[in-house]
Structure 1
Amino acid sequence: MACSRTCSRILGLSLGTTALFAAGANTVLLFPNWDVTYLLRGLIGKHAMLGSGLWGGGLMVLQKTMESPRTGGKGEHTTTIFSLPLQMLAALLSSGLALLGALICFITSGVALKDGPFCMFDVSSFNQTQAWKYGYPFKDLHNRNRNYLYDRSLWNSVCLEPLKAVIWHVSFFSALLCISLLQVLLVVTHFFNAFLGLFCSLCEK
């Protein structure tokens, strides 16, 4: 039981830390190159504006850490045969919400990396007047033989504004992808630990 409670505290602290990092990474994506003017002008990509790192990998995961230990013992709530189903239901619901939030963040980050950054790029064709627009150049101007994630020569030649838009996009969405994957593993581990802890508590009594 003591081992289960200790593990639960460590997992809760880890989840809380990853939730804060996810929220921070998504917030930074709203300010390319630390410039607020892009957000004010509405020139932020849809993946960052969705804010899955804020409410998905952030708040929905953070609520799991607010779950108080109810596994019995001195100074804690007493687990009985009557309270066990309610505790299991609460643990299942909080774990389900946290898992859903982490998965949404993971999927959004993966799609964002696939589509590429939202930036200003040259849309002019050969021998025509030069023209620029904001969009997703690596999605709209799709080249099946080249992938911008592996071809770094495209990073500074396609996106004209914001400066280093590709590096900013890839860095923070990659971070969100890794954080949300870690959150999925932690939530699953946390649920099984709570499940075993509650039943062990009941068996002890």
Structure 2
Amino acid sequence: MCCSVGFARSLGLALLPLALCCIVANLLLLFPMGETTYIKQDRLASYTWYFGGLGGGGLVMLVPAVVFISLGKCSFCWNESLMMCGSVLAAVIGLVGSCYCLVISGFTLVQGPQCFTSFGWSYPFLDQGGRYLLQPETWSRCLQPVNIVEWNVTLLCVLIGLAVLEFIICLMQLGSGLVNAVCRPFCYKQEYSLNA
């Protein structure tokens, strides 16, 4: 069978927890160490406000997840060609969302956190181009929030990993949908010739 609706559904079911994890990770970035003080004082890294995990990896990713899961469930809602177009379009939306999450998380990681140092509030790692990630002994420059570098690095690496997984899943469905669109006419011709 050319069309694998079950495969698409399983990919959709895999996307749901990834999207929810992205939302949670992004929300945790807004509240370092669970404190609300820093968000009220606008002391978060500037790229945090682009909501890469909440928007791109989270809410946007719910669109392909729902579309993939609903494929073939409602026969009068989806005809075959609409099902293929919907699947491919949803996969493209998912690819864009995961890329957005990946890029924003990467920029935030390279920029480093905004933190209080002995010179006041600043971005102490901004001019290092991400080299601080390989020099954990320099992380103690950030005095407040406590352990902010570890907090940001952990959550941003989680977001990057989740975005890569989401990208792979959406790319798989995009490939499956396109192959399906090409193979489907041949499948129907074979079925017709067998029935004749």
* TM-score for both structures, normalised by structure 1: 0.80
Corresponding residue pairs, total: 186
Q: Which residue of 2 aligns with 1:77?
A: 75
Post-superposition offset of 1:7:
1.5
Residues 33-92 of structure 1, C-alpha deviations (whole Å, 9 max, x = no match)? 10011112221212222111011000111110111213xxxx742799xx4443333223
- Aligned equivalent of 2:94: 98
Separation (CA, whole Å) in 2 of partners of 1:3 and 1:143: 49
With over 3 angstroms needed to count, the CA separation of the structure-2 counterparts of 1:143 and 1:78, relative to structure 1, is: closer
Alignment RMSD: 2.6
Distance 2:6 2:128 in 1: 52
Residue number among 137, 145, 168 corresponding to 1:162 in the alignment? 145
Equivalent in the alignment of 1:136: 123
Cα deviation for residue 121 of structure 1 reads: 1.6
> Structure 1 residues 172 and 143, CA, compared in 2 at 3 Å: closer, same or farther?
closer
Aligned-pair distance for 1:199? Answer: 5.9
Between structures 1 and 2, the one with greater helix share: 2
- Structure 1, unaligned stretches of length 5 or more? 124-131
Output one character per residue of 1:8-38: Cα deviation in whole Å (capped at 9) or x when no partner: 1211111111111111100000000100111
Whole-angstrom CA distance in 1 between matches of 2:40 and 2:3: 50
Find 2:115's aligned residue among 109, 116, 119: 119
Measure how far apart 1:196 and its partner are: 4.0
State how far apart, in whole Å, the 2-side matches of 1:143 and 1:106 are.
Answer: 20
Tell me the secondary structure at the aligned position of residue 120 of structure 1.
strand
Tell me, what secondary structure is at the counterpart of 1:161?
coil
Gaps of 5+ in 2: 192-196
